Homo-oligomer: A and B are copies of this chain.
Amino acid sequence: MTNCTEKKRKLIERLGIHFEKEMDLSPLAARILGLLILSPSEDLSFEDITNITCASKSSISTNINLLLQLKIIDYFTKPGDRRRYFRASRNHLKLTLNDNLSKVDKQLEVLELIDEFNQGAEKESNHKFQVRLLYREFLKNQQKNLQNTLKKISEIQDTQ
């Protein structure tokens, strides 16, 4: 059940630290996510998670509900079994990329606002202008890459 080798434990810690920083999760939520990512073909119940992470029931409950709410994880049930079995959401990459895309869009919007403001009155250095131009180009490329990847993901999911 609690199939958790030393190697896996260490990797969970490693991923936990990574996700904590990169996804802005609480330490425990990040570790739970790490655990679930490394256990794609196992069925992990609430109790399994409690045992492996060694955290209190209440903290696990809170953090699982947080991850569920953020759609970072999923759960399924088995017939005749009251427990929920958790897993990393199959949809999460898609959601992340969409999130990313909207961030890029927001940055482009802000850039637009700054441009507008500067066109009005300020005598701006050529250098600053060029850098903003470059930055816009960069953001547009990010957009393209994101849109493209999202399209490919949809294609895979449609095939399945």
A interface with B by C-beta (< 8 Å): 7-8, 11, 14-15, 18, 22, 37-38, 40-41, 90, 93, 97, 103, 106-107, 110, 113-114, 117-118, 122-125, 127-128, 130-131, 134-135, 137-138, 141-142, 145-146, 149, 152-153, 156-157, 160
Contact = CB atoms under 8 A, between A and B. Distances in A.
A15 B110 contact: yes
A96 B7 CA distance: 34
For this chain, the copies found in one complex come to 2
A22 B106 contact: yes
Contacts of A106: 18, 22
A40 B153 contact: no
Contacts of A137: 149
